[in-house]
Chains A and B, each alone.
Chain A
Amino acid sequence: MPLEQFVPFIPEIFLAIASFVLLVGGIGLGRRGMRPLALGAVGSLVVTGILVWLFGRPAGEPEVILGGMLAIDTFAVFFKLLVLASAILTIMLATGFLERFRYGGGEFFALILTATLGMFVMASGVNLVSLYVGLELMALSSYVLVGYCKLEVKSNEGAVKYFVLGAMSSGILLYGISLVYGSLGTLDLMEIKTALVAAPQDNLVLMLGIVLMAFGMLFKVAAVPFHVWSPDAYEGAPTPVTAFISVAPKAAAFAMFLRIFAGAFSPEIDHWRSVIWLAAAMTMIFGNIAALSQDNVKRMLAYSSIAHAGYALMGVVAGTAYGTWSVLMYMLVYTFMNIGAFGLVVLLETRGYAGETVKDWAGLSKKAPAAAAGMLILLLALAGIPPTGGFMSKLYVFAAAINAGYIWLAVIGVLMSAVSLYYYFRIVVQMYLVEGEEAESGAELVRDRWAEGVVLVSVLVVMAIGVYPAPFVGWAQGGLNALGLM
């Protein structure tokens, strides 16, 4: 294997080294070293981003490296940069949080970096083996991150549930992969597609394999009915981790989902589409309805994340180029609006798990008008109200569904986004509308410049996408230049 093949792989190699350095540095520095370690982690992620830009971009046409394991294309670059952005924002959210809750930072940052590495592989893998390895690296890092607050019972509980169900879903996915391999004799996505185009199949083993892989992927994006792990994991995890696992792994899983289903399995779309259709509809309906009755904001946002996976799945159902880039656009906006909203939850959390209930937001518009306004914008974005990016991203997934003829799915989607407004606005009601004694809550915003910066960046990005979406749409459409997809 010629050595030049490793050049586009430099970002990943750098990321792996950086995570080891942070791990060892964390042991050496202890808790005093939190800020330098955080700066080191953010710095390495920024450098990784630069390296992706320098070496990880395709020169022209997409190419494969490392014996057909990874693809170098704009699709991968899009997701890599998105994942990097969420990792950077997460570390900035987590630093102050870990200090306040007296946890060490070295392992934390190292785990974020390894998870990011896993997601890099998920974004660029074009072989079922490399995709699976990336997925597992991401998943194992996330399990530990969810249980990071080892003294909190909820954190442990969430981690165990996440681990058990995550391991099971990986098993299902792996079983599906083995059935596909058994019937087609290859793990390479391009070869799978070629084989399916050449000889369309409907043998039971292959269908079972595809369906099981769909189930496995639906587990990873937390689609109904495979979502049961996520509310507990999201609620129990330290909030910055919740912010992270609700966006980055989801985005990476969607990258993998698109690469496998809209790419390799696209000749068999009539066989798997109805499964995804049903999952998308159920996810939107159940996620939104279940969120209505949540009093814990983290849990509410967890159900809302489930619902958002449902909207993004509409793009997968469409199975068109339009559908694919609408998913990219959706993940872009979703990443920022969700991290921003969780960022404000982080800022409101004071001790233990206080600051998590809806009531804790009471009267925030008086105490901290800027924070309340930021949360209002993020919630409007989550509900899909213009002029925020949330509207712009929903517009394209609905458009993709209608374009592909799935009008009823789009109708379910728009009606459910109206339902979602009700629970998002329960927070708005507390922040702005309640008055007098009701507006007194024990929760106070903590001062944390980094976390405030995260919220500010998220709000600005979400507004920028809403007001001038053209360049962002351009990037998402640029991501269509992907190996095995179109």
Chain B
Amino acid sequence: METQYAYLLNLICFVPLVGALFIVFFLDKENSRAIKMTATVVAGLDFVLSLPLWFLYKTDGAEFQFVTKLDWIPSVGVQYFFGVDGFSVLLILLTTLLGLIAVYSSFTAIAHREKEYYVFLLLLQVGMLGVFCSLDFILFYVFWEVMLVPMYFLIGVWGGPRKLYAAIKFFLFTLVGSVLMLIGILALYFYNSDGMAAIGLPGLGNAPTFSIPSLYEIAPQVPPELQFWIFLAFFVGFAIKVPMFPFHTWLPDAHVEAPTAGSVILAGVLLKMGTYGFIRLSLPLLPDATIKAVGWIGWLSIVAIIYGALVAMAQKDMKKLVAYSSVSHMGFITLGMFALNEAGLRGSILQMLNHGISTGALFLLVGLIYERRHNRMISEYGGIAKVMPIYAMFFLVITLSSIGLPTLNGFIGEFLILIGAFAHKWWWALFATSGIVLGAGYMLWMYQRVFFGELSNEKNKGLKDLNLREQWTIIPLIILAFWIGLYPKPFLDRMAPTVDRVMERVATARPEAALPMVVHVSAVDQHEEHDEAATEHGE
């Protein structure tokens, strides 16, 4: 089955694969120019192909558009099922844009084993785009894991001094999360079909299917106890990816050791996988469990916001600082999401884009200075605004975007999240605001130490400002930052159907349903919170 323009998604997803195979089989590894050209053309083509999605997506039409639905493993109900809604369109556009930027920002940064590098970069893009396009659980899972392999190599081959440790840590953390998610997927699948008789779950007897939209339909029938366990399995998978406190420990290692383009993709897109999973799967599929989980996930998010910010403040290494700021920002995103109201969800989705833009740009900027000095210590710099004025200006705009200055993108997202958080619990907003203040603190403090003051370090006196190619890695992101900051309506319009659906599904939850499961020790304290949250939503 195909709907209009369905070929677009298939093309977008697999063009990078074709490009990667072309480089593998037809280009010589010495021919660095041709490899870079091909990679750029492929990534550029992919970006151009994804643009029509922005215009062709009908915000008032069906939920999922550009649908391709073919049998893949018919006997167990697995389909090749691609389709997007506005939420995934936004993330696909972010991915193709950052993918292109990642390719052409690597021209000088990567000097050895270039062929493999660009191949892995393109393969990574296939995995990421596949995740955003898939509407079948198994297909989704396949792409979800496919991403890990190229990212492992990007960190492991082209990374910093502790790259081996960081690469395998990244792989193992995310793998553990995703395999547990697989258990959750299978449990849901069997509940929908022939059940798990041995543990007293008869199942609904529907035809076996892994189709996510079909499973949305049965979501309200899943018993709360089962929802809790599936939610837990999904939660581990997504929370590690986000990463939420206390699963964040892989992130600083991976970010610090990864090459610049790897960090950009990691921060810009890979971290969004977790939050994408929550909004696409956990919330609409498991509404009962979601409502019960609001209390403790809220706490985890608040801890992430404040802890991430405090740790970021203490960092001496710029890249590490940006990495920890990601933990803090991702805390905002999960907080807004689990406020479970329209403002919070909108802010959360928008902030996913914003974080991709501003943190991606920050990693690029840190990478640019690292390429010149091979040093990222804040103390090594000072006063470089004098020798690199354009760089300093770009850095300033992105810093302001990251801390949420009005007229820039970060403001809109954070503001919406705060409204949502406040509507849920006033003190959620209180903690979140303190995170914003801390964020402004560490970012501006870093900016001050790096760019202002005396140009005391001899090595910095000869620094060259950004050349044209380097400027063009940042400019698109700055344009986007202003666009979202000044006129976010097109973005909000596109995510509206998704937000509505999630709200609608969450409203089907049965808050009065008893909580028969064993409550974990850590959750006992928040147990009362659950009930409060639940009643609020019931009203």
> Does A associate with B in a complex?
yes
A interface residues with partner B (beta carbon < 8 Å)? 365, 380, 385-387, 391, 395-396, 398-399, 402-407, 410-411, 414-415, 417-418, 421-422, 425, 429, 432-433, 468-470, 473-474, 477
Q: Contact: A407 with B156, CB < 8 Å?
A: no
Complex interface residues of chain B between 154 and 184 (CB less than 8 A to chain A): 156-157, 163-164, 167-168, 171-172, 175-176, 179-180, 182-183
Q: Contact: A403 with B179, CB < 8 Å?
A: no
B282 → chain A, closest Cβ, in Å? 19
B187 → chain A, closest Cβ, in Å? 6
The DSSP consensus for interface residues of chain A is: helix
Residues of A within 8 A of B75 (CB): 470, 473-474, 477
CA distance A410 to B157 in the complex (A): 33
Query: What 0/1 readout, one digit per residue, does chain B (409-435) give for beta carbons within 8 Å of chain A?
Result: 000000000000000000000000000
A370 to chain B: closest residue by CB: B24
A221 → chain B, closest Cβ, in Å? 24
Query: Which of A365, A402, A415 meets B190, CB within 8 Å?
Result: A402
B445 at the interface (CB under 8 A from A): no
Given A403-B196, A410-B186, A470-B72: A433 in contact with B149 (beta carbons within 8 A): no
Given A410-B186, A470-B73: A421 in contact with B156 (beta carbons within 8 A): no
Query: Which of A396, A417, A422, A470 meets B71, CB within 8 Å?
Result: A470
What are 8 A-B contacts with C-beta separation under 8 Å?
A: A385-B145, A385-B146, A387-B146, A391-B145, A406-B198, A407-B183, A415-B179, A425-B152
Residues of B within 8 A of A391 (CB): 142, 145
Given A386-B145, A402-B190: A414 in contact with B168 (beta carbons within 8 A): no
A322 → chain B, closest Cβ, in Å? 9
Q: Contact: B187 with A402, CB < 8 Å?
A: yes
Q: Contact: B73 with A418, CB < 8 Å?
A: no
Q: Contact: B196 with A405, CB < 8 Å?
A: yes
Q: Contact: A433 with B198, CB < 8 Å?
A: no
CA distance A359 to B123 in the complex (A): 28
Residues of B within 8 A of A380 (CB): 149
Query: Which of B73, B142, B153, B172 meets A421, CB within 8 Å?
Result: B172
Given A403-B196, A404-B196: A473 in contact with B142 (beta carbons within 8 A): no
Query: Which of A402, A405, A429, A468 meets B164, CB within 8 Å?
Result: A429
Residues of B within 8 A of A386 (CB): 141-142, 145-146
Residues of A within 8 A of B179 (CB): 414-415, 417-418
A192 → chain B, closest Cβ, in Å? 24
Residues of B within 8 A of A404 (CB): 196, 198
Given A421-B172, A429-B164, A470-B73: A403 in contact with B190 (beta carbons within 8 A): yes
Q: Which of A391, A396, A403, A411 has the most chain B CB atoms closer than 10 A to its own CB?
A: A403
B27 at the interface (CB under 8 A from A): no
For the A-B complex with A403-B196, A404-B196, A414-B182 known, give 16 more contacts whose Cβ atoms are closer than 8 Å. A385-B145, A391-B145, A399-B76, A399-B186, A399-B190, A403-B194, A405-B196, A406-B198, A418-B176, A421-B172, A422-B168, A422-B172, A468-B72, A469-B72, A470-B73, A473-B76
Query: Which of B73, B180, B198 meets A473, CB within 8 Å?
Result: B73
Q: Contact: B187 with A433, CB < 8 Å?
A: no
CA distance A63 to B145 in the complex (A): 44
Q: Contact: B196 with A425, CB < 8 Å?
A: no
B516 at the interface (CB under 8 A from A): no
B74 at the interface (CB under 8 A from A): yes
CA distance A235 to B197 in the complex (A): 43
CA distance A253 to B176 in the complex (A): 31
Residues of B within 8 A of A406 (CB): 198
Residues of A within 8 A of B197 (CB): 405
Complex interface residues of chain B between 221 and 239 (CB less than 8 A to chain A): none
CA distance A141 to B199 in the complex (A): 44
B15 at the interface (CB under 8 A from A): no
Given A418-B179, A470-B74: A402 in contact with B186 (beta carbons within 8 A): yes
B283 at the interface (CB under 8 A from A): no
A217 → chain B, closest Cβ, in Å? 23
CA distance A421 to B153 in the complex (A): 14
Residues of A within 8 A of B116 (CB): 365
CA distance A422 to B183 in the complex (A): 21
Q: Which of A365, A399, A410, A422 has the most chain B CB atoms closer than 10 A to its own CB?
A: A399
Residues of A within 8 A of B180 (CB): 411, 414-415
Residues of B within 8 A of A429 (CB): 156, 164, 168
Residues of B within 8 A of A402 (CB): 183, 186-187, 190, 196
Given A410-B186, A432-B153: A418 in contact with B172 (beta carbons within 8 A): yes
Q: Contact: B73 with A433, CB < 8 Å?
A: no
B160 → chain A, closest Cβ, in Å? 13
Q: Contact: B198 with A405, CB < 8 Å?
A: yes
Query: What 0/1 readout, one digit per residue, does chain B (188-204) give for beta carbons within 8 Å of chain A?
Result: 01100010111101000
B148 at the interface (CB under 8 A from A): yes
CA distance A433 to B198 in the complex (A): 46
Complex interface residues of chain B between 300 and 317 (CB less than 8 A to chain A): none
CA distance A449 to B375 in the complex (A): 49
Residues of B within 8 A of A433 (CB): 153, 156-157, 163-164, 167
B159 → chain A, closest Cβ, in Å? 9
B138 at the interface (CB under 8 A from A): yes
Residues of B within 8 A of A470 (CB): 71-75
CA distance A469 to B167 in the complex (A): 30
Residues of B within 8 A of A403 (CB): 186, 190, 194, 196
Q: Contact: B145 with A415, CB < 8 Å?
A: no
B256 → chain A, closest Cβ, in Å? 17
A403 → chain B, closest Cβ, in Å? 5
CA distance A399 to B194 in the complex (A): 12
Query: What 0/1 readout, one digit per residue, does chain B (306-349) give for beta carbons within 8 Å of chain A?
Result: 00000000000000000000000000000000000000000000
Residues of A within 8 A of B149 (CB): 380, 385
Residues of B within 8 A of A432 (CB): 153, 156-157
Q: Contact: B145 with A418, CB < 8 Å?
A: no
CA distance A403 to B198 in the complex (A): 8
CA distance A418 to B148 in the complex (A): 12
A285 → chain B, closest Cβ, in Å? 15
Q: Contact: A385 with B199, CB < 8 Å?
A: no
CA distance A391 to B149 in the complex (A): 14
A373 to chain B: closest residue by CB: B24
Residues of B within 8 A of A468 (CB): 72
CA distance A457 to B194 in the complex (A): 37
Residues of B within 8 A of A385 (CB): 145-146, 148-149
Residues of B within 8 A of A415 (CB): 176, 179-180
Residues of A within 8 A of B194 (CB): 403
Residues of A within 8 A of B153 (CB): 432-433
A366 to chain B: closest residue by CB: B113
A332 → chain B, closest Cβ, in Å? 14
A159 → chain B, closest Cβ, in Å? 37
B360 → chain A, closest Cβ, in Å? 26
CA distance A260 to B44 in the complex (A): 59
B50 → chain A, closest Cβ, in Å? 22
CA distance A404 to B186 in the complex (A): 12
Residues of B within 8 A of A407 (CB): 183, 187, 196, 199
